[in-house]
């Protein structure tokens, strides 16, 4: 049984890279929401019974043959709708308006920072924007609406988009040509909050306290008298999941921490202290370094590494379950972005950027069901839930650490020796970040050991050792990220310490790639 919040917003995904930012803004307004691919909306609509709908942007063009469409039932449901960029265009097109392709006539599109002028009042602007005011927004569209649908009126314009914001107050349908969800639209979050609160009439009372209570009840209902094993990785997600589940079912839960030899420095000891000493949660620690290293020998492909590690984790859990006399459920710290990124917005085959160890399901032979209490949360919401559960800020604020561990921070073959070198370099780097008071300003920072050797000079001797790359990014939820702008003195200090203190490294570089086009992790 899933306990559905009374007030929800359904976000229809047409494939935009920033759809998840829309969800973040809605949840920041205190309202629960979910994202559904446009091809899978019917099921989500029936399950959620939403009070409002948001149509996302898309890389497609409405005039293109085969471009995605919104199910007609959405427009007939009698609910408020906000169409964003492509969402505005597809709504206009399906309700009788006209959308012009970007390659027609002299129109070349409108991208980046732009300014709109408010021409008429509407509920979307209540208490926020007034007629005659100019406001900065972020545009990213090649196509444009050239004729709005019956019942709509123009309430804001820009130099490149005479239909910058349109409104049908009678049906409570609104469309913005710009993207209010991105940070480059300064008032965008307030605009979305206006839609949620003023247009949809939702209170905004969805909190981590209510989520906690809801999930505790769900877990008890799902598990009953069964036994659960939880795979701990040492990271925030699995730890918060374990503590929440323990609150719900007590000693029916046993945590299994697999030391696969791919952990950060002293991580095993930290996890044992937290779960055994502070929370008194039953914990089994499995020393599996040798079997993981043996299985990774000669493996260089990133996907092959991930798949082996995921499969071996499952094998370990299966073995430990048998030792414990059998378990009915396996708990994981799966997050909402893990789920979304693993589902094609078309509902069909999609390009996989990277597989995720938490969304592959379980082998039928295990005869176990999954318990995933964080499945609806973003990373920062998990941290908030952790604080709600009493976890200290130092642990809750830890940087994300991938399930495959150091294996995906060592491009090429993974060996115990290379892991030991990387562990030490990573520890030095993070120590310097903490010493500088920068840890909490950074979303994720780590070292990478490259499969490259370079010539160096130490004292009077020639060296031929490995290159270490340093990575640090800022982000809100990990979906997009910018590099952290360390000053030269800091990077020089890190490089000097790593080269002097970590045998096997004689060169240090800094990764200046944002996401996109790169990913945060190297593999």
Q: Looking at the structure, tell me whether residues 185 and 217 fall in a common domain.
A: no
pTM for this entry: 0.75
Q: Looking at the structure, tell me whether residues 114 and 133 fall in a common domain.
A: yes
The domain tally of the chain equals: 3
Q: Looking at the structure, tell me whether residues 386 and 245 fall in a common domain.
A: yes
Q: Looking at the structure, tell me whether residues 359 and 479 fall in a common domain.
A: no
Residue with tokens 């009493």: 390
Q: Looking at the structure, tell me whether residues 441 and 372 fall in a common domain.
A: no
Query: Is 465 annotated in some ligand binding site?
Result: no
Distance CA 497, CA 347 (A): 50
Please choose, from the candidates 6, 30, 168, the residue with its C-alpha nearest in 3D space to the C-alpha of residue 91: 168
Predicted pLDDT at 103: 54
Any domain includes 519: no
Q: Looking at the structure, tell me whether residues 370 and 232 fall in a common domain.
A: yes
DSSP conformation letters of 275-314: IIIIS---EEEEE-HHHHHHHHTT---HHHHHHHHHHHHH
Q: Looking at the structure, tell me whether residues 195 and 220 fall in a common domain.
A: no
Predicted pLDDT at 394: 78
Any domain includes 516: no
Asked if 373 and 245 count as a contact pair (C-beta separation under 8 A), the reply is: yes
* Active site positions, annotated: 85, 179, 181
Q: Taking the chain, what is the end-to-end CA distance rounded to the nearest angstrom? A: 37
Query: Is 236 annotated in some ligand binding site?
Result: yes
Q: What's 494's domain CATH number?
A: 3.30.300.10
Any domain includes 120: yes
Residue with tokens 């719900």: 248
Any domain includes 410: no
Q: What's 308's domain CATH number?
A: 3.40.50.620
Q: Which domain holds residue 498?
A: 415-510
Distance CA 117, CA 152 (A): 18
Instruction: Please report, to the nearest 10 degrees, the dihedral formed by the alpha carbons of residues 73, 75, 79, 81 taken in order.
Output: 130
Query: Is 475 annotated in some ligand binding site?
Result: no
Domain boundary among 343, 363, 396: 396
Q: Looking at the structure, tell me whether residues 434 and 292 fall in a common domain.
A: no
Query: Is 344 annotated in some ligand binding site?
Result: no
Q: Looking at the structure, tell me whether residues 158 and 50 fall in a common domain.
A: yes
Any domain includes 523: no
- For all residues of the chain together, what is the average pLDDT? 88
Query: CB 394: neighbour CB atoms within 10 A?
Result: 9
Domain boundary among 151, 181, 199: 199
**Per-residue pLDDT tens listing for the chain (523 residues):** 555 677 999 999 998 878 888 998 999 999 999 899 998 899 999 998 999 999 998 888 887 888 889 999 999 999 999 999 999 999 999 998 888 776 555 545 556 788 999 999 999 999 999 999 999 998 876 677 788 889 999 999 988 778 889 999 999 999 999 999 988 899 999 999 999 999 999 998 888 998 999 999 999 999 999 999 998 877 889 899 999 999 999 999 999 999 999 999 998 998 888 888 778 888 999 999 999 999 999 999 999 999 999 899 888 888 888 888 888 898 988 887 777 665 545 443 333 444 444 444 555 666 788 999 998 888 889 999 999 999 888 788 889 888 899 999 999 999 999 999 999 999 999 999 999 999 999 999 999 999 999 998 887 678 899 999 999 999 876 767 899 999 999 999 999 999 999 999 999 999 999 998 899 999 9
Q: Looking at the structure, tell me whether residues 433 and 381 fall in a common domain.
A: no
Domain boundary among 351, 369, 396: 396
Distance CA 386, CA 378 (A): 12
Distance CA 399, CA 413 (A): 25
Predicted pLDDT at 429: 98
Predicted pLDDT at 350: 34
The residues, ordered by sequence, that sit 6+ positions from 174 with a Cβ below 8 Å of its Cβ are 80, 81, 82, 83, 122, 123, 124, 165, 166, 167, 168, 195, 199
Query: Is 235 annotated in some ligand binding site?
Result: yes
Please choose, from the candidates 28, 29, 19, the residue with its C-alpha nearest in 3D space to the C-alpha of residue 479: 19
Distance CA 414, CA 16 (A): 35
Q: What's 190's domain CATH number?
A: 3.40.50.880
Any domain includes 42: yes
Query: Is 426 annotated in some ligand binding site?
Result: no
Any domain includes 522: no
Distance CA 506, CA 500 (A): 8
Distance CA 140, CA 114 (A): 10
Query: Is 140 annotated in some ligand binding site?
Result: no
Residue with tokens 């990478």: 448
Distance CA 363, CA 227 (A): 18
Predicted pLDDT at 356: 44
Q: Looking at the structure, tell me whether residues 364 and 478 fall in a common domain.
A: no
Q: Looking at the structure, tell me whether residues 265 and 389 fall in a common domain.
A: yes
The residues, ordered by sequence, that sit 6+ positions from 453 with a Cβ below 8 Å of its Cβ are 464, 465, 466, 467
Say whether 334 sits in a helix, a strand or coil.
coil
């Amino acid at each position: 049984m899933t306990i559905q919040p009374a007030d929800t917003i359904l976000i229809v995904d047409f494939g935009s890279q920033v759809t998840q930012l829309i969800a973040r803004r809605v949840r920041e307004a205190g309202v629960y929401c979910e994202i559904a691919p446009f091809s899978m909306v019917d099921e989500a609509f029936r399950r959620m019974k939403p009070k409002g709908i948001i149509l996302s942007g898309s890389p497609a063009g409405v005039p293109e043959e085969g471009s995605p469409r919104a199910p007609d039932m959405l427009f007939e449901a009698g609910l408020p709708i906000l169409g964003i960029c492509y969402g505005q265009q597809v709504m206009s097109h399906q309700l009788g308006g006209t959308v012009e392709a970007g390659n027609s006539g002299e129109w070349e599109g409108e991208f980046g920072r732009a300014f709109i002028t408010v021409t008429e009042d509407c509920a979307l602007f209540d208490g926020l924007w007034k007629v005659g005011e100019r406001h900065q927004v972020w545009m990213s569209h090649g196509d444009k609406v050239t004729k709005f649908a019956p019942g709509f009126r123009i309430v804001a314009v820009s130099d490149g988009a005479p239909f910058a914001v349109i409104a049908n107050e009678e049906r409570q349908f609104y469309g913005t040509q710009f993207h209010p969800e991105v940070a480059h639209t300064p008032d965008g979050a307030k605009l979305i909050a206006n839609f949620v609160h003023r247009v949809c009439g939702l209170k905004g009372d969805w909190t981590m306290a209510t989520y906690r209570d809801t999930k505790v009840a769900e877990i008890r209902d799902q598990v009953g008298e069964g036994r659960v094993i939880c795979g701990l990785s040492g990271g925030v997600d699995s730890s918060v999941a374990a503590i929440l589940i323990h609150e719900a079912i007590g000693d029916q839960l046993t945590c299994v921490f697999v030391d696969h030899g791919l952990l950060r420095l002293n991580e095993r000891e930290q996890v044992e202290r937290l779960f055994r000493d502070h929370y008194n949660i039953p914990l089994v620690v499995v020393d599996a370094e040798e079997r993981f290293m043996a299985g990774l020998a000669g493996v260089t492909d990133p996907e092959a590494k991930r798949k082996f590690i995921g499969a071996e984790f499952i094998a370990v859990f299966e073995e430990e379950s048998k030792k414990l006399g059998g378990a009915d459920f396996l708990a994981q710290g799966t997050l909402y972005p893990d789920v979304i990124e693993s589902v094609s917005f078309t509902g069909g085959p999609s390009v996989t950027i990277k597989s995720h160890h938490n969304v592959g399901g379980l082998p039928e032979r295990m005869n176990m069901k999954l318990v995933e209490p964080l499945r609806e949360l973003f990373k920062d919401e998990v941290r908030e839930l952790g604080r709600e559960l009493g976890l200290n800020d130092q642990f809750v604020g830890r940087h994300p650490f991938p399930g495959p561990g150091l294996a995906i921070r060592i491009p090429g073959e993974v060996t115990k020796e290379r892991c030991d070198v990387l562990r030490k370099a990573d520890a030095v780097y993070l120590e310097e970040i903490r010493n500088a008071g920068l840890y909490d300003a950074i979303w994720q920072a780590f070292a990478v050991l490259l499969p490259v050797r370079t010539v160096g000079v130490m004292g009077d001797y020639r060296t031929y050792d490995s290159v270490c790359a340093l990575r640090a990014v800022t982000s809100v939820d990990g979906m997009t990220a910018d590099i952290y702008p360390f000053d030269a003195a800091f990077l020089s200090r890190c490089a000097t310490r790593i080269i002097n203190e970590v045998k096997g490294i004689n060169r240090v570089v800094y990764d200046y790639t944002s996401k996109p086009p790169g990913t945060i992790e190297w593999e």
